[in-house]
Structure 1
């Protein structure tokens, strides 16, 4: 008997080869590829949802043929993925769209794999990419079986189509040369040169849709079992060895938070008078440090849980008390960081990066709350990996639907109405989502802020399915009120309009 190959982690999680590909799956894959080639070349919008429908049906049919049932969590991930795909149809800004698409891919992998542990949630998207090659081979085998089988009709259909096309080309060319009117008729039916030039791009989109749908269907029929990967548990430590470093850390957090609470309830005036800092300088000082402190605290909690004592009820009480205190103190750090950012935004305005890092800090606070809830309720009543994944997806969806570019413009316009200060040089680089807020500015600030957006929209011509709601609304406002910079120059002098930021670093959340 030949010796069996040693089991590896990949062979342990890899399932058996799926059965024959269902015919309905092949038709749905073909529909996905054709819709990708026809709709996605003009931009992103409602067309993403249209393309996702047949791809989802292909995966559903393949899963049912493999004997898999739809579970409640699969519906949660699937509905969440479709909701995220609606962001490009509503918002014009590219960066929330990118976040939404990446998150939708992650939720799609969870719907297909059905993972519940950290490893499956984090590594699930790799299973989709791993299915690209096997999925293509699986689909090709299905086509050959249907073409070569006793009842196969695909082969004769392809041969008949090829002969018909050849006859049309040959005799059509002869008739076109014989009659000018017939040649004009054929010319009106043939694609124009622009369409021919875009042929490689549409063919690439066809391949992407084909491979993506086949990979999703193959994963649904034979998903990688990520949850079979088991991490070796950490060695439990003694109570004093485990708890003493964390208690010291809690004391440090408590001392820092005492200062923050004194500032909050005692007012900033006393602290600023003692330190000699302005509001903006005080707010600017330490936000990144507080953000990293929050991230590192989550790492510390994860390692502490790995090496926590597990001797009985007294050990569980100790772990919950120490880590619960650390979580509560970390929430005060999160609130302090957000308050600092709010002060700085009041002083210098809101930017894309500032709203992004503030949203990240807020989500980290939600994760800490979920950790506390899981410690109280238990892992069975609150599965922490899934809860964190849901919170991340909900955060990205809310971030996209709230339109960060519109919030940036709205906050800066409100600040201008209050202080008379505005950075037009930054605002004119926002997307069409910012137009409703910028449209309220007085001239010439309004036209300076909207000029680049207006020029971009005039150069862009996309069909309805590749146009967002934010872009359509912006076009209506710009067409109604117009944009004119005649008689003054917006850059670099702006005809007396002084930019607040002389040097803007897009990677610095505080600038300038």
Structure 2
């Protein structure tokens, strides 16, 4: 038989006998069977392990827990198998063992995933179920008309559901957990105060990220980055967890659920009947009730049901995460290979010298005047370099991160070298941040303020805060740095929304018009209702021309929970001073240059 052929292991009965003679007598056969362990009185010391038959077509694989083969010499002497066939059987046994180990290893999760996997959550509490149900009902009632105070109304019962679930799991709120949770709720105040869509979007997105951090309680870089979006992975497990808890409670306490459902149905029926009578009896009560209670129609049924499911699934995901969060802090990231001092420090020292030379030129320009240094106006000089300085700041933070990863770690001298080189780079980058903000201020004086400019200026300012935090981490330790950077990002988004960017844009452009008598009315028409108080101070016909487009986007019939403070204030101002319809046609009004290059 060739070596590469599939071995066909004969059964013990087909094994060749040492003697080729005739069959032994009955007595000798019985004695032989007794020695081989086939008789009932054969002891374990006389039993000879028999090799299994090699699986062929139509035959089942041998069980995974097959006996280990005996020692080669003893097995060959006792099994009466030829050496060639016994070696093939041993190879087959080794192959089976290797295959079992491979399948077992493939079924196990990776080491990093096994470390961060949450423990099985406890059964959902009744309080959490009621809070989840309240979240779904409030979502169906209040989230259909727009964004405003309704987001905060829906978020409160969802936060309570998570709190009850965490309490049942034995988790207690820590200081950073309160920072994330209260910060997320504070960010949801922005849609209630501001009408502009872009600060609202940033605030809602940041509120979700901070809420996810509050549920996970992360503190490392991996925990903060992954934990801020990890709540998405709990959407499906949260639904299964909630359904399993409801089914267990329904099977175990049917006698208690029936009175609750009957009581709720009776209460709803009484409210509907007597509420309808009071509404028809008093017009003032009907108007008040109409403003407070959302209007629900049969045609809105599918949309309301979708919102109900959205609130229900979101609240279950939050509660499931609070009961058994992923341990993202246990995800280990291998440190970079430490470089030698010269190999690590030389590129950074050269970069520091480049930053120092650039900052020296900036200081000379500031002292001697722009026109004395180059043949450009102040506005063109500012416009030319702001974006480059913004990218330089971003790339510097990336360089600091990689430099810290590959920094030498030999001892105190290496630690001093790292702190000195990176600290100098942070200080020089702060000067670049100040130069970029100064250029933006000159650019705004020449062309006015826009949404893009106020956004990138706010981002540049936040990057300066991050640099200060990095410098503080080099002095006091970096254990708190990931959470501090995340908290500063949330605080920056909150401050950005509360500052009302559209109002800032309008105020700055109105002040520029009073000074230079030039304004871009076409751009101001695209602002939100937050800009109405500032634009209301413009003289006619500029005022009516700028406010007419904003007025068309306002709706007096929006309910209280979907109307922001900025919209309500704009409606009040336009009621006191109506728009001149003839001036709103914007005829023969010049369109100023906003400095964007496309006008």
TM-score scaled by structure 2?
A: 0.75
Offset at residue 462 of structure 1 (A): 1.2
- Alignment RMSD: 2.2
Q: Given that residues 351 and 408 in structure 1 are in contact (C-alpha distance below 8 angstroms), is that contact kept between their aligned partners in structure 2?
A: yes
Q: Given that residues 141 and 304 in structure 2 are in contact (C-alpha distance below 8 angstroms), is that contact kept between their aligned partners in structure 1?
A: yes
In 2: Cα distance, 1:56 partner to 1:511 partner: 47
Map of 1:481 onto structure 2:
577
Residues 439-458 of structure 1 mapped to structure 2, 5 A cutoff: 439-457=536-554
Residues 20-419 of structure 1 mapped to structure 2, 5 A cutoff: 20-151=123-254, 153-154=256-257, 195-271=297-373, 275-380=374-479, 383-419=480-516
Deviations 1:282-317 (A, max 9, x none): 011021111111111001000000000111111111
Secondary structure class of the residue paired with 1:25: helix
In 2: Cα distance, 1:142 partner to 1:6 partner: 28
Secondary structure class of the residue paired with 2:407: coil
Residue 427 (structure 1) aligned to one of 506, 524, 538? 524
In 2: Cα distance, 1:244 partner to 1:253 partner: 14
In 1: Cα distance, 2:187 partner to 2:493 partner: 8
Deviations 1:25-47 (A, max 9, x none): 00000000000110111111111
Secondary structure class of the residue paired with 2:468: helix
Offset at residue 469 of structure 1 (A): 0.9
Aligned residues: 470
In 1: Cα distance, 2:584 partner to 2:505 partner: 26
Map of 1:499 onto structure 2:
591
In 2: Cα distance, 1:56 partner to 1:240 partner: 52
Judging changes above 3 Å, is the alpha-carbon distance between structure 1 residues 302 and 511 closer, same or farther for their aligned structure 2 residues?
A: farther
Deviations 1:239-298 (A, max 9, x none): 100000000011111111111111122222312xxx321111101102111111111100
Structure showing greater radius of gyration is: 2
Secondary structure class of the residue paired with 2:553: helix
Deviations 1:33-90 (A, max 9, x none): 0001101111111111111111111000000101111111100111111110100111
Q: Given that residues 428 and 452 in structure 1 are in contact (C-alpha distance below 8 angstroms), is that contact kept between their aligned partners in structure 2?
A: yes
Offset at residue 387 of structure 1 (A): 0.8
In 1: Cα distance, 2:136 partner to 2:584 partner: 50
In 1: Cα distance, 2:408 partner to 2:500 partner: 46
Offset at residue 125 of structure 1 (A): 3.5
In 2: Cα distance, 1:107 partner to 1:239 partner: 39
Q: Given that residues 423 and 471 in structure 2 are in contact (C-alpha distance below 8 angstroms), is that contact kept between their aligned partners in structure 1?
A: yes
Judging changes above 3 Å, is the alpha-carbon distance between structure 1 residues 19 and 75 closer, same or farther for their aligned structure 2 residues?
A: same
Q: Given that residues 294 and 333 in structure 1 are in contact (C-alpha distance below 8 angstroms), is that contact kept between their aligned partners in structure 2?
A: yes
Deviations 1:440-474 (A, max 9, x none): 000000000000111111x4521112111111111
Judging changes above 3 Å, is the alpha-carbon distance between structure 1 residues 220 and 418 closer, same or farther for their aligned structure 2 residues?
A: same
Judging changes above 3 Å, is the alpha-carbon distance between structure 1 residues 195 and 414 closer, same or farther for their aligned structure 2 residues?
A: same
Secondary structure class of the residue paired with 1:198: helix
Deviations 1:73-118 (A, max 9, x none): 1001111111101001111111101000000111101100000011
* Structure 1, unpaired ranges of 5+: 166-190
Secondary structure class of the residue paired with 1:62: helix
Offset at residue 489 of structure 1 (A): 2.7
* Structure 2, unpaired ranges of 5+: 1-64, 66-99, 269-292
In 1: Cα distance, 2:132 partner to 2:584 partner: 55
In 2: Cα distance, 1:229 partner to 1:108 partner: 21
Judging changes above 3 Å, is the alpha-carbon distance between structure 1 residues 192 and 406 closer, same or farther for their aligned structure 2 residues?
A: closer
Secondary structure class of the residue paired with 2:229: helix
Q: Which has the higher contact order (CA 8 A, sep 6+)?
A: 1
In 2: Cα distance, 1:192 partner to 1:81 partner: 26
Map of 1:185 onto structure 2:
none
In 2: Cα distance, 1:281 partner to 1:192 partner: 54
Deviations 1:121-170 (A, max 9, x none): 111143211110110011111111111115554479779999xx9xxxxx
Secondary structure class of the residue paired with 1:43: coil
In 2: Cα distance, 1:348 partner to 1:497 partner: 18
In 2: Cα distance, 1:160 partner to 1:394 partner: 45
Q: Given that residues 58 and 217 in structure 1 are in contact (C-alpha distance below 8 angstroms), is that contact kept between their aligned partners in structure 2?
A: yes
